[in-house]
Amino acid sequence: MARARLTVLLAVVFLLGGWLGRQGSRVTADPAPASPDESYEYTLLFSRVMQLVRQDYFDPSKVGYKELTYAALKGMLSSLDPHSQFLDEEAFADLQRETQGGPFSGLGIVVGEKNESTVIVSPMENSPAGRAGLLPGDRILRINGKTTEHLALGTVGDMLKGKIGEQATLTILRPSSNGPSSDQVFDVTLTREIIELHSVKDPHLLAADVAGQDKVGYLRIEEFGQNTPEEFNRALDGLEKQGIEALVIDLRNNPGGLVDAAVEVAGQFMPPGTVIVSLKGRSPDQDQSFRAKEGRERPNYPVAILINGYSASAAEIVAGAFKDLNRAVLVGETTFGKGSVQTVQSLGNSIGMRLTTARYFTPSGKSIHEIGVTPTLVVPITNEEERRIILAEAKRSLTPEEKAEAAKADDRQLTRAVSALRAVRAFRLKH
């Protein structure tokens, strides 16, 4: 009987492997060559281990075929790099809602990996994480007492997820600008809730005490989702109706998102047909260039883009294109350096996988992977300064202590960007 079950399982594994190969052929090159004997040997090994676990493991509630297969797929994909991930039904649905701009349940935290640690790339505005005062760069040491050390990002993401109303206690290490001896370690308990995603925030004309007599528009893009181009167009149309003469696009702490959305936003400021970003995959036939589309091109007013160490992925595509094509001045700090592209593939039955399939390159052919995009004007700020800026921009009630901190906010990066824009305008008017 055991031999019969093993034979059936082997057949299922071979069929699954062939089906996945056909699905993956749309975006990946031919797999590494393997002899039939090698393929059979390791498929047999996988099947044998699964069968032994099902037969001998002491807790029968944990050895269902689905549970063991999902666990194996999670381990397989997470072993490749920090960004490849198997997506079970809940994770796949969450990802679809997030990229489509729909609401989802969570803590409002986007995580990344930096220096082999799990860091908060962006706490979403008006989310449990944002209201608790968590900051970009905070390291997550533990989740409900379980360490995140050596865990894949996908696993950490799964630990952060949960149902509405469930709580999670995070142990946070907050680096200090004064060195490791001044780092803070503290616990914060957050309650999961529905997170509403609106990626384009706070479009307005900057006040005269910042911009002087110039009409300088400002908007912030929190991430690049399916609805970002539409939201961006609506916000920028409103600013242009107010007669803006220059524009600041704030991409600080933007964790990225969809390549298409980033290309559509950047493409509005470039001549049609201009290459915004190039992707290079495993084989030459996977290489692809994304270009600015035909359509309405924005007026040629000066643009400044604010970036920092937590501007990542699609945000770096936009920053890199504007810099390489001399369409904007970049102000702030070198970006995160995530230059790999993940393709999301449906595997049927409401599950999927996120797989690293390419790296992207700026219009001049530069890779920013693990390097980042350097600003035109380097303006570093301390962790304390950043916290004050975030508090000053917060759309929530502040405690008396937070109000006192917010009152000290001095956004030197924004001030420097406006100064650069005013200088460009003055130069143009004279010439």
Q: Are 223 and 257 in contact (CB under 8 A)?
A: yes
Q: Are 101 and 199 in contact (CB under 8 A)?
A: yes
Catalytic residue flag (residue 324):
yes
**Long-range contacts, 337-341 (Cβ 8 Å, 24+):** 337/312, 337/368, 337/369, 337/370, 337/371, 337/372, 338/83, 338/112, 338/256, 338/312, 338/313, 338/369, 339/313, 339/367, 339/368, 339/369, 339/370, 339/371, 340/81, 340/83, 340/369, 341/259, 341/279
| CA–CA dist 327, 331 (Å, integer) | 13
Close Cβ partners of 178 (under 8 Å, ≥ 6 residues apart): none
Q: How far is CA 331 from the centre of its chain?
A: 20
**The one catalytic residue among 158, 338, 340, 411:** 338
| CA–CA dist 269, 291 (Å, integer) | 12
Catalytic residue flag (residue 138):
no
CB count in 10 Å sphere of residue 164: 10
Burial class, 101, CB count within 10 angstroms (exposed 0-12 / middle 13-18 / buried 19+):
middle
Q: Which residues face 184 on adjacent strands?
A: 174
DSSP 393: H
- Structural tokens at position 169: 């206690």
Query: Three-state SS for 36?
Result: helix
**The one catalytic residue among 158, 250, 324, 411:** 324
Q: Are 230 and 199 in contact (CB under 8 A)?
A: no
**The one catalytic residue among 313, 323, 340, 411:** 313
CA angle in degrees (0–180, nearest 5) for 240-245-247: 75
Query: Could you give the residue numbers annotated as active site?
Result: 313, 324, 338
